[in-house]
Amino acid sequence: MSDDLGRLMAGARREAVFDLTAPMDLAAREARVQAKAAALLGAARAEAGWQAVSGGDLGAFVALMAGR
């Protein structure tokens, strides 16, 4: 068992902080969301998803996420 896991099981706490809710302008937030989507889904699929969402085509977005 790792030392970290042992300490956590003994009741130690870890705190994680994410900056996703930090104030930022819309352009910066869009860029971060698009970069994250590309990292997770691949550039082409992320771009298709972005176009579906920004165009309000929920059906296309759902189909894309379902792999259709």
Task: Give the pLDDT score at 58.
Answer: 87
Please tell me the number of Cα atoms within 13 Å of 51 on its side-chain side: 8
Residue 62 domain-assigned (yes or no): yes
Please state the pTM of the whole predicted model: 0.60
Interval 31-58: pLDDT, tens: 989 999 999 999 999 999 999 988 988 8
Interval 8-22: pLDDT, tens: 788 777 777 777 677
**Alpha-carbon distances of 63 from 6, 12, 54, rounded to whole Å:** 43, 43, 15
Task: Give the pLDDT score at 2.
Answer: 74
- Backbone φ and ψ for 23, nearest 5 degrees, come out as -60, 135
- Residue 58 domain boundaries: 23-68
R_g (Cα) of the chain, nearest Å? 18
Provide the number of structural domains found in the chain. 1
Task: Give the pLDDT score at 42.
Answer: 93
Task: Give the pLDDT score at 27.
Answer: 93
